[in-house]
Amino acid sequence: QVQLVESGGGLVQPGKSLRLSCVASGINFQMRSLAWYRQAPGNQRELVAGISGGGSTNYADSVKGRFTISRDNAKRTVYLQMNSLKPEDTAVYYCRLANSEYWGQGTQVTVSS
pLDDT tens profile 35-56: 999 999 999 999 999 999 999 9
Rounded-to-integer distance, Cα 71 and Cα 80, Å? 9
Give CA angle at 14 (19, 64), nearest 5°. 60
Where does residue 71 rank: exposed (0-12), middle (13-18), buried (19+ CB within 10 A)? buried
pLDDT band at 14; cut points 50, 70, 90: very high
Mean of the per-residue pLDDT values for the chain? 97
Predicted confidence at residue 25, as pLDDT, reads 95
User: Among 5, 35, 8, 9, which residue's Cα sits nearest to residue 23?
Assistant: 5
Q: What is the mean pLDDT of residues 26-38?
A: 94
Length of the chain (residues):
113
pLDDT band at 90; cut points 50, 70, 90: very high
Q: What is the mean pLDDT of residues 23-27?
A: 94
